[in-house]
Every structure is written in structure tokens, then in C-alpha cells.
Amino acid sequence: MSDTAPVFLVDPVPSGTTAVLDGTEGRHAAAVRRLRPGEELVIADGRGEAATCVVETVQGKDSLALRIVRRWTEPQPQPRIVLAQALIKGERGELAVELATETGVDVIVPWRAGRSIVKWEDGPRGVKALARWRSTAREAAKQSRRTRIPEVTDPVTTRQLAELVRKSAAAVLLDAAAGAGMAELDLPDTGDLVLVVGPEGGVSESETEALLTAGAQAARLGPTVLRASTAAAAAIATLGVLTPRWR
């Protein structure tokens, strides 16, 4: 994939040698990005199928005729990083999702931690908040030229999170007071690696006990304490170096 070619999402990626990009994505390409004949772009289905295309013609303000020049399947990174992000109030939650997506997270699990200010109770407000996280992940994936959009699951309780940890290849609970650093952990090369990030108020003792009992390893990121909205991105980048993901 070109380092600079913008990504537009389609479903599915056409199987032939030509394609038409229309609808919302076509409007963005033609009217906002102002792509012109001869320029390159990438179309992707958000699940790893992608193709590099050249614009043949611009059809009005919301449609481009494309010639497909190369297609490929982006492999699933290993280990797969599953971020359990405690709910954060306001835009900081969306910032956490955005930064985690840009650094390569594969799945985002909203966690109803005990000390989270917001809870996302069942109902319209919770549905709307979850939709914002999903939209943020989608747009951040496009911005960072990803062909895979991270899945944002329904929110989970601590009990459900402990079960997720129990079934994973490994799990890391970020804790500024932990004795071990990230580099000292026993990390897998494959499977699901669950990363748990607590709320601004921290993870409670009972939650910590439940997660450690389920098999999580507690670790600190470094000598400083990061905000709940930025800790995940720093940890994901660290895991990219410590595992085969970025090799």
C-alpha cells in the first residue's frame, strides 16, 4: 500500500479490475479530498481486504470511477491486542479510542469499571456513547491508513472482563505501582493479548484481585503516570516492540 494514499471503506472490495466509489466515501473523495484522475487511493473493507486504485474519472461531486491496480489481504497482526478500556467521561473516552486505533489495537472492549464516572447504562444514552466509540475507531483507522477497523464490542462488567482474561493467551493490567515493567513480562507471540486500562480513579482492590486471579499480570509503563485516555496508546506501542507485531 502506498504510504500516502488515502483509505476509503467499501463493502465488499470489488473482484474485477474496475470499481466505482460513491455514497459518503465517494463524496469525501471527490468533494473534500478533491482527488483527480491519475491519483491513487486505497479501498478496503475494514476486515483486511484492500486494493490500490487509480482514479480514472470524477463523476460529479460524489462518485469516482476507479481502475484497480493491485489487491491484497492484510494479515491479522499477532498477537492480537484486545484493549479493555475503562469508560472515561466525555471526549477523553473517544480520544483513548482514537489513539489506540492509530497505534494498532485490534479489539476495544468498553469496561464498566467500578470507579468510572460514567457507566453507559442500558438505554439510548449508552447506545449513543457506544456508537461514538465505534465511529471514532472507524475514522481513526482511515486516518492512519489501516485496512482493518478495530471491533468495538458491547460494554462488559468486571466479571465478564475476568472471563475474557481467563480465556486469553495473556493479559496485562496496567498499574503504576506494579513491581514489574512491561519488558519483564512473559508475553505470547500469538493469540489474544488483553490489555486492561483502568479509569482516572484507578482500578479498585477487588477488581485487581479478580483480574489477577483470572491470570492477568500487573505491570507499570514507566516512571510517570499517564492519563486513562493516553495510557493505552503508550502500552500498545510498547507491546508492538516487545512482541512480533512490529517486527
Average pLDDT for 111-132: 92
Q: Is the pLDDT of residue 78 over 70?
A: yes
| % of the chain surpassing 70 pLDDT | 99
Q: What grid cell was written down for 147?
A: 485496512
Q: What is the pLDDT of residue 108?
A: 98
Average pLDDT for 30-51: 96
Q: What is the pLDDT of residue 4?
A: 77
Query: Residue 246, Cβ neighbours under 10 Å: how many?
Result: 11
Q: What is the pLDDT of residue 3?
A: 53
Average pLDDT for 98-123: 94
Average pLDDT for 52-64: 95
Q: What grid cell was written down for 204?
A: 479498585
Q: Is the pLDDT of residue 1 over 50?
A: no
| Residue for grid cell 488483553 | 194
Report the distance separating Cα 239 and Cα 186, nearest Å.
11
Q: Is the pLDDT of residue 162 over 70?
A: yes
Report the distance separating Cα 136 and Cα 96, nearest Å.
10
Average pLDDT for 144-170: 97
Quick one: which of 182, 196, 198, 197 has its CA closest to 243?
182
Average pLDDT for 181-200: 96
DSSP secondary structure, 12-72, as one string = S--SSSEEEE-HHHHHIIIIIS---TT-EEEEE-BBSEEEEEEEEEE-TTS-EEEEEEEEE
Report the distance separating Cα 156 and Cα 243, nearest Å.
27
- Bridge pairing between strands 217-219 and 170-174: parallel
Report the distance separating Cα 104 and Cα 146, nearest Å.
8
Q: What grid cell was written down for 154?
A: 458491547
Report the distance separating Cα 35 and Cα 55, nearest Å.
8
Confidence of residue 90 (pLDDT cuts 50, 70, 90): confident
Average pLDDT for 189-204: 96
Per-residue pLDDT of 16-26, as tens digits, reads: 999 999 999 99
Q: Is the pLDDT of residue 222 over 90?
A: no
Q: Is the pLDDT of residue 2 over 50?
A: no
Average pLDDT for 85-100: 95
